[in-house]
A = this chain, B = another copy of it.
Amino acid sequence: MVRREPAEVPDEQRARAELDAAYLAAYRADAYPRPAVATDLVILTVLDEELQVLLIRRGIPPFPGAWALPGGFVRVGPSAPGDLADQGEDVDAAARRELQEETGLDPARVHLEQLQAFGRPGRDPRMRVISVAYFALVRPELAGHVQAGTDAAWASFVPVREALQRELAFDHREILETALARVRGGLFRRPYAVALVPEVFSVSELRRVYEIIGGEALDRGNFTRRVQGMVERGVLEEAEGRKVTGARRARVYRFRG
């Protein structure tokens, strides 16, 4: 009950007691051991007709040889009690920075969303690390650049199916599975699929993403109706031009943020 305080006392006395208590609380909290806080990123894309996740091969212990999600520590300011300046970077900003550093992608062009925190003790055997996990959805035309810009031996997109069969470091299997559940669960309620197709896309391209993530074939005709519904509700808008995905030039659409 750290933040609960005792009952009423006269005003002056109380004001002083409160200040004392505040400093005491801050001091004591500062004296207690603190965890390191990191962000881990589940960076997803659809490439080669498969949902893929960016993994990094670990060279050093712990988990040498295992694959891991990219991630890094949140930058924290000196944070002395009463020091108001520079508490460090936002956790969201840390995730964006990590995304930029790992993939070279512009975070503004990627759907990045917090998943949840993972804080089991022992998840990193070296020390207490609490991780705030995020997932990113990358358009295929951007995902291509990632592989080019990165040493493929150490960081590369891997089909999710394969990734789940590999030995993953830390609790990264749990994080990956949680992210997949979130994306699959929100497929028909959140604009996740439109973040995984080119910025201007045909109905077929969008349908393929739904099928790949959802894992089941969808009726072409009925799916077209769904897209029409999204246009009527203002989620999507028709874009200029046509696109040749298959044998015939198809209408193209764009997500209306």
Contact = CB atoms under 8 A, between A and B. Distances in A.
A126 B22 contact: yes
Interface in A131-190: 132, 151, 153-155
Contacts of A83: 127
A132 B72 CA distance: 18
A16 to B, nearest CB: 11
Interface in A28-84: 29-30, 32-38, 56, 58-62, 64, 68, 70-84
Contact of A22 (B60, B88, B122): B60
Contacts of A122: 87
A114 interface: yes
A126 B14 contact: no
B89 A121 contact: yes
A105 interface: no
A82 B125 CA distance: 8
A1 B114 CA distance: 19
Given A33-B88, A35-B79, A128-B87, A153 B7 contact: yes
28 contacts: A1-B72, A2-B72, A4-B70, A5-B58, A6-B59, A7-B153, A18-B60, A18-B64, A19-B61, A22-B126, A25-B60, A26-B126, A29-B36, A29-B73, A29-B127, A34-B37, A34-B76, A35-B88, A37-B119, A74-B130, A87-B127, A90-B120, A91-B117, A92-B119, A116-B116, A117-B117, A117-B132, A130-B130
Given A32-B73, A33-B77, 13 more contacts: A1-B101, A2-B38, A2-B71, A22-B61, A29-B127, A32-B75, A33-B79, A34-B37, A34-B76, A81-B126, A81-B127, A88-B121, A89-B121
Interface of A: 1-8, 14, 18-19, 21-22, 25-26, 29-30, 32-38, 56, 58-62, 64, 68, 70-84, 86-92, 101-102, 114-117, 119-122, 125-128, 130, 132, 151, 153-155
